[in-house]
Homo-oligomer: A and B are copies of this chain.
Amino acid sequence: MVVKVYGPLYAAPKRVLVCLVEKEVDFETVPIDLLKGENKHPDFLKLQPFGTVPLIQDGDYTLYESRAIMRYYAEKYKSQGTDLLGKTIEERGLVEQWLEVEAHNFQPPIYNLVVHILFAPVLGFPSDPKILQESEEKLGKVLDIYEEQLSKSKYLAGDFFSLADISHLPFTHFLVANMGKEYMIKDRKHVSAWWDDISNRPSWKRVLQFGDPF
C-alpha cells in the first residue's frame, strides 16, 4: 500500500516527506492548492476538519498534523531506514523535547518572518515591520540556545539525527534560501555546521524538488 501525502508544495508536508524518504517508505503525493482554498473544500474537510496540510492516507488509515505523522512512521518502521527516535526511551524523550521546542519556540517567530516576507507579496497584504523586528529578535534568542546545545552534541537531541532535526528543515530552508536572512544561521558556528549537515542529506534534496508555493 502506497502512502498518499496531501500538499507536497508546502512546508509542513515536507516534514512528512523527508521522514518517509529516510524510512524508505513508498509514497505518492496529492496536490492541494491552499491559495485556491482547496483545503476548505467539503471533501477535504471530511478528512481534515481543521483544513490544514499535511494529511496522509495509508489504506484505511488517515492521519493529520505533520509531527504526529512523522512519529507514526518513525515508530511503525522502527527497524527500517534511518532510526529517527533514538535508541533508548531516554533518547526518545530528548527527541520529543526538541520536537516540542521546535513547535513552540522556533516555529512561531520563523513562521511570522515567512508570512511577512514571502507570503505578504503573494497574498497582497502589507508586511508589518514591527512583527518582522520582534520575530527576528525572538528567533535570534532561540538560535542562541541552539548554538549552545549544538556545541555539546552534533544534533539537537544528541549525537544522532532524529525527527527533531527533520522538523526544522522546511522553515530554515526558507530563511536561508529565500529571505535574505541566512546570516542568522551562518553567524552561529555550530548552528551553521548543523544546518550544512542536515540540509545536505539526500532525503532533503529529493524533497526540495517538490517546489515552493511562491
A interface with B by C-beta (< 8 Å): 49-50, 61, 63-65, 67-69, 71-72, 75-76, 89-90, 92-94, 96-97, 99-101, 103-105, 142, 145, 148-149
Contact = CB atoms under 8 A, between A and B. Distances in A.
A1 to B, nearest CB: 13
B96 A65 contact: yes
Nearest to A45: B145
Interface of A is mostly: helix
A128 B68 CA distance: 34
A76 B70 CA distance: 20
Copies of this chain, tallied across the complex: 2
Given A67-B100, A76-B89, A103-B103, 17 more contacts: A50-B101, A50-B142, A63-B93, A63-B94, A64-B97, A65-B104, A68-B93, A68-B97, A68-B99, A68-B100, A71-B92, A71-B93, A71-B96, A72-B93, A72-B96, A75-B89, A75-B92
A142 B51 CA distance: 12
A87 to B, nearest CB: 14
A99 B101 CA distance: 15
Listed residue (A61, A64, A100) with the most chain B CB atoms within 10 angstroms of its CB:
A100
A104 B65 CA distance: 9
A44 to B, nearest CB: 14
A170 B49 CA distance: 24
A81 to B, nearest CB: 16
When A and B form their complex, which 3 residue pairs have the shortest distance between CB atoms, in order from nearest?
Answer: A65-B100, A68-B96, A72-B93
Contacts of A68: 93, 96-97, 99-100
Q: Which of A65, A69, A93, A105 has the most CB of B within 10 A?
A: A93
